[in-house]
Amino acid sequence: MKDDGQSSAWERYVEAKRHAFEEQQADGGAGEPKTLEELEAAIAEAAASSGIPETGMPPRSSIHPTARRNLSRWFYQTLVILFVGLVAYLLWWGYQNT
């Protein structure tokens, strides 16, 4: 728990899973194990009661976007500048030596 009394989304997700598995042990500890659909329904119900979306945690890429697009733009701009500089230098060098 955080100092301000609110839990993070991850803590609520873990709590919802823990609640679902406790419910499974209380209901069917000696009986047959629950099916996957029943477990998903229990987790979704526990997640809804704790205030997190049914889908769980958002993907990492939406929380921490990459800088790949920005870096690739700088890389290609640098290549173009180097190429233009090389062509300019070779033209200057050619005029100096002829």
Domain tally for the chain?
Answer: 2
Specify whether 2 is located in the same domain as 25.
yes
pLDDT grade for 25, boundaries at 50, 70 and 90: low
**98: pLDDT strictly greater than 70:** yes
**Could you tell me if 29 and 76 lie in one domain?**
no
- 71 and 59 in a single domain? The answer is no
The model scores a pTM over 0.85? no
Phi, psi of 77 (to 5 degrees): -65, -40
Average pLDDT, the chain: 76
Q: Are residues 51 and 5 in the same domain?
A: yes
Domain of residue 19: give its range: 1-65
Q: Is the pLDDT of residue 58 over 80?
A: no
Other residues' Cβ atoms within 10 Å of the Cβ of residue 95 = 8
